[in-house]
């Protein structure tokens, strides 16, 4: 399941609208839109739904979190090997709702790489974006916490900050692909994000809580193609 850009990455969070069969429906919609448009759409379900969804769709499936651990005595934590074995191809790390100790982000990125998982490490401002880039993840997703879940898009509310985040990420580590997120609900938001230099978006409620997730995703994917 190739992860390519531009990417629309849908974080299911722990919304009731995304548990089990409901999450599978969203993944099916994402798969259809991805096939229609050629735009990469990935989903990040809850841990207990990873395998079921990864087995059911041909789009990239991400975990929402991994722990920086090796196989062993870590009851209840999320082993990178288990995530990879379930069929996921990548993982979010350090989402603003699940922040990690700095050394643990570093170790989680290493562990993900060892087991073949792509990493999307989240950042909350310019300085933290630069710090994240130094840790060498595949993607850095800049998300200002105060806009998450608001419907006010980072790409229109703070265009200059997105531009600067992209710049510092590129400067510190040109191999890291910049994404942005927070408040993204429309195709225009996605297009604006791409025009600011990102190669994709991370979003959640804009799709998961939409009345018609497929419609929103079509709108977003088609907008992404306009860039």
Q: Are 20 and 31 in contact (CB under 8 A)?
A: no
| Strand duo 40-44 + 7-11: pairing | parallel
Question: Residue-wise over 42-69: b if at least 16 C-beta within 10 A, else e?
Answer: bbbbbeebbbbbbeebebbbbbbbbbbb
Is 175 a residue that touches its own copies (CB under 8 A)?
A: no
Name which of 136 and 186 has its Cβ closer to its own copies. 136
Identified catalytic residue from 31, 65, 143, 158: 143
- CB of 41: closest distance to its own copies in angstroms? 18
95 a catalytic residue: yes
Alpha carbons 68 and 56: distance in angstroms, whole number: 28
Of residues 114-153, those binding its own copies (CB under 8 A): 124-125, 127-128, 130-136, 148-149
Q: How far is the CB of 195 from its own copies (least distance, A)?
A: 26
Q: Does 101 bind its own copies (CB under 8 A)?
A: yes
Tokens 């991370």 map to which residue? Answer: 202
Q: Tell me, yes or no, if 74 is annotated catalytic.
A: no
Q: Which residues of 128-158 are buried (b: 16+ CB within 10 A; e: fewer)?
A: bbbbbbebbbbbbbbbbeebbeeebbbbbbb
Does the protein bind its own copies through residue 64 (CB under 8 A)? Answer: yes
Binder to its own copies among 25, 32, 81, 188 (CB under 8 A)? 81
Closest CA to 179 of 147, 143, 222, 125: 143
Q: What is the end-to-end Cα distance of the chain in Å, rounded? A: 24
Binding mask 10-49 for its own copies (x = CB under 8 A): -x-xxxx--xx-------------------------xxxx
Confirm or reject binding of residue 3 to its own copies (CB under 8 A).
no
Residues annotated as part of the active site: 95, 143
Residues that bind its own copies (CB under 8 A): 11, 13-16, 19-20, 46-52, 63-65, 69, 71-79, 81-83, 85-86, 88, 92, 94-106, 124-125, 127-128, 130-136, 148-149, 168, 172, 204
């Amino acid at each position: 399941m190739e992860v390519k850009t531009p990417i629309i990455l849908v974080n299911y969070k722990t919304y009731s609208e995304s548990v089990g069969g409901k999450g599978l429906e969203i993944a099916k919609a994402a798969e259809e839109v991805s096939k229609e448009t050629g735009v990469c759409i990935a989903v990040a379900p809850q841990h207990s739904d990873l395998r079921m969804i990864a087995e059911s769709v041909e789009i990239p499936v991400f975990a929402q979190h991994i722990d920086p651990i090796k196989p062993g005595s870590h009851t209840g934590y999320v082993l990178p090997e288990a995530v990879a074995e379930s069929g996921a191809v990548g993982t979010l790390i350090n989402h603003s709702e699940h922040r990690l100790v700095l050394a643990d982000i570093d170790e989680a990125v290493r562990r993900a790489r060892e087991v073949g998982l792509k990493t999307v490490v989240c950042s909350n401002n310019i300085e933290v974006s630069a710090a994240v880039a130094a840790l060498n993840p595949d993607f850095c997703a800049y998300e200002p916490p105060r806009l998450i879940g608001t419907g006010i898009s980072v790409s229109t509310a703070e265009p200059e900050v997105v531009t600067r985040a992209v710049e510092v990420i590129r400067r510190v580590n040109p191999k890291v692909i910049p994404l942005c997120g927070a408040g993204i609900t429309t195709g225009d938001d996605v297009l604006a994000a791409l025009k600011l230099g990102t190669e994709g978006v991370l979003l959640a409620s804009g799709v998961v809580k939409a009345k018609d997730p497929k419609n929103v995703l079509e709108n977003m994917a088609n907008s992404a193609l306009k860039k």
